[in-house]
Structure 1
Amino acid sequence: MELEVRHLRALCAIADAGSLHKAARQLGVSQPSLTTQLRRIERALEGELFLRERTGCRPTPFGRTVLGRARPLLAEMAALVAEARAAAHGPRLRIGSTASRALPGWLRRLHRRAPETETTLVVDVSANALLRMTAAGQLDVAFVHEVEGSPLRVPGGLELRVLMEREPQFVSMSLDHPAARSPVVELQDLAGDRWTVDPSVDGEWDGLRRVFARAGLTPQVLHADYHTAASLIVSGEAVAPCQPTSGPRDDMAIRPLLGDPLAVRLLLATRPGEHAEAYEDLRAAYREAALGTPPYRAWLSRQGSPLLVA
């Protein structure tokens, strides 16, 4: 078996994700398929690359040596492909982002600023994956969020611009939930609810678990993707943290939490000195989305946020 770029990419994905399950999801393959591929690579290299443990995978000393050679090769290959495509197709801006209501307005502004530039978009639940893609030259900019208390793994060679130092996370619930009658909800009022969270979103479950621990709460937690969670929330089966720019919705109540116990930091990652205009357009788009959401606008007003000033 001869090693190919896809094999090196799989090894790096396993190392970065820390588990075969998460790496398989990021690569878009099944876990059994990735496990079989890893075994073939290890046979070809005649050595064990990862230790399989109950909590995940970690590189062996031999694995760290192989990864140390693989990462620069992947970065050079990504740069080569990017440069070749740019030469063939003209100016292009490759954007990565976690989910955000600011995205449509951001893209609209970028198109208006540079109509001749081809814009591509990658949306991923993993902020760490988007940062790795930016560092490897696969993306030009990445708009990501960092859950408070769960620092992102920022690769070297990236510049981070802070859009919001602390964006509060609100909570979504059914319209007939008793807590929905209040403009601001206390965490204790939701202690008896089932909370749903997507474990593939970097830091989200850890952040929520810390908030529960500080409040002395142990609510039921259900791991689910966004679309499943929305159905459960509307039917009154669960509540969930959400972005303050979410809504308004006719079938769901979205409220701030008293004291803002859960928050994220919003960041734009680029290579040093590049794409300053993308940050300015993103800030304007985020402001538009924030001010268009009454509960968040009221929160910003109470905080005296500079976002209220154009």
Structure 2
Amino acid sequence: MELEVRHLRALCAIADAGSLHKAARQLGMSQPALTTQLRRIENSLGAELFTRERSGCRPTSLGRSVVSRARPLVSGMAALVAEATSAADLVGGERLRIGSTASRALVGWLRRLRRRMPGTDISLHMDVSAGALLRTVAAGRLDVAFVHEVEGCPLKVPDGLERRVVVDREPQFISMSRDHPAAARPVVELADLAQDRWILDPTVDGEWDGVRRVLSAAGIDPPLVHGDYQTAASLIAVGEAVAPCQPTSDPRDDLAIRPLRDDPLAVRLLLFSRPGVAPGARVGEAEESVGARVFGDLADAYREAALRAVDYRLWLTRNKSPLLHAEAA
């Protein structure tokens, strides 16, 4: 077996993350696949590169040596890809490559961008992992990324990215079945959900740890189960589980979406971008960065989605949110 750049990237990720589970999430692959890959690399070299412990993985002395040599190679390849991508952009015309975690603001944002930047090739890449999107921006394969950061679980942001705050604190609501006893109330207490299964997607950066922290602080310990939110909806509808959700979530006949008392769960909505002149910049805007160019459209699209959601609009009214009075484009 010959070592390739992807193998070296995997070794660096394991060393940085300190665990196969976290490294697999960062690399966008399953833990069993990464474990198999590591085993093959070690078999090829004839020696162990990491010691597996209950608390995670630690590099052996040989592992430290291999990783130290691998890092400049991985960085060099990333720089080569970024330069090649930038060169291709110049040849191929104006492009805007957007990355995003799930958001009801996306449709309105894309609509505004296409209207503002006619002739620009606008593409969208979705990922549940904010960290993966930020690394893709840093590598030059995306121009901007719209992501959420779970409160209490800061994202690991690559050096050199510009950051803009779309919403400093967005409350997370709870999705439950229509016949759940708590659904009859306009605001739900965490204690009302202490006996419910909470379904969480572990691939969403920070969410598992953030929810566990909030539940522990409230003195409750409901069962937590893994699952993606698309699958979760059917379980929630029949009363098998509850789940945190975005306050802008679309209503459904079989689901109730309610705010939590005192809003213990929250995220921050952020826009990250690479420095550089925005595509489609008009005369006099040559120094405007990509992030600055698209931020206003995103903020307007988010406000539109927020005001369209009835329960969220009521929450915004109770909390005298400035979103109610901001001017839409």
After TM superposition, give the deviation of residue 67 of structure 1 in Å.
4.4
- C-alpha distance in 2, partners of 1:264/1:12? 29
Q: TM-score, normalised by structure 1?
A: 0.91
Counterpart amino acid of 1:117?
T
1:141-220 alignment runs, 5 A limit = 141-220=144-223
Who is 2:37 aligned against? Answer: 37
The corresponding residue for 1:250 is 253
Instruction: State the distance in 2 between where 1:96 and 1:303 align.
Output: 31
1:223 counterpart residue number: 226
**CA displacement at 1:15 relative to structure 2:** 4.5
Moved more, 25-34 or 58-67: 25-34
Matched, 1:121 2:98: no
Distance in 2 (CA, whole Å) between partners of 1:271 and 1:205 is 29
Residue 316 of structure 2 corresponds to residue 300 of structure 1: yes
Deviations 1:89-125 (A, max 9, x none): 2111111111111111111111111121112211111
CA distance in 1, matches of 2:66, 2:309: 49
Pair 1:50–1:110, CA change in 2 (3 A): farther
* Comparing 274-283 and 69-78, the one that deviates more: 69-78
TM-score when scaled to structure 2?
A: 0.86
State how 1:6-45 maps to structure 2 within 5 Å. 6-15=6-15, 18-21=18-21, 23-24=23-24, 27=27, 31-42=31-42
Q: Cα offset for 1:24?
A: 4.6
The question of whether the paired residues in 2 share the 8 Å contact of 1:247 and 1:254 is answered with no
Is contact 1:48-1:63 (8 Å) kept?
no
* Runs of at least 5 residues in structure 1 that lack an aligned partner in the other structure: none
Match for residue 281 of structure 2? none
Give 2:297's aligned amino acid.
D
- 8 Å contact from structure 1 (residues 98, 124) kept in 2: yes
Q: CA RMSD in A?
A: 2.2
The amino acid of 2:51's aligned partner reads: L
**Is residue 193–residue 219 contact of structure 1 (8 Å, CA) maintained in 2?**
yes
Distance 1:259 1:231, change over 3 A: same
Contact 1:196 1:240 survives alignment (8 Å): yes
Change (3 A) 1:18 1:120: farther
Name the structure 2 match of 1:61: 64
Give the deviation of 1:135 after TM superposition.
Answer: 1.1
Moved more, 117-126 or 46-55: 46-55
Relative to structure 1, the CA distance from residue 20 to residue 246 in structure 2 (aligned partners, 3 Å threshold; closer, same or farther) is same
> How many angstroms apart in 2 are the aligned matches of 1:285 and 1:58?
45
2:12, 2:67 within 8 Å by CA — same for their partners in 1?
no
**2:194·2:222 contact (CA, 8 Å) conserved in 1?**
yes
Change (3 A) 1:108 1:130: same
Q: 1 CA distance for matches of 2:77 and 2:14? A: 14
How many residues were matched structurally?
310
Q: Equivalents in 1 of 2:247, 2:148: separation in Å?
A: 13
Gaps of 5+ in 2: 276-288
Q: Equivalent residue of 1:275, what SS?
A: helix
Over 3 Å counting, the alpha-carbon distance change for 1:99 and 1:57 in structure 2 is farther
Letter matched to residue 4 of structure 1: E
> Is 1:110 the equivalent of 2:126?
no
For the 8 Å contact 1:95–1:122, the answer to whether it is kept is yes
The structure 1 residue matched to 2:102, chosen from 93, 99, 111, is 99
1:238 maps onto 2:232 in alignment? no
C-alpha contact (below 8 Å) 1:49/1:62 kept by paired residues? no
* Change beyond 3 A, Cα 1:57–1:302: same
Change in CA separation of 1:292 and 1:75 when aligned onto 2, cut-off 3 Å: same
Q: Report the CA distance shift for 1:270/1:58 in structure 2 as closer, same or farther (over 3 A).
A: farther
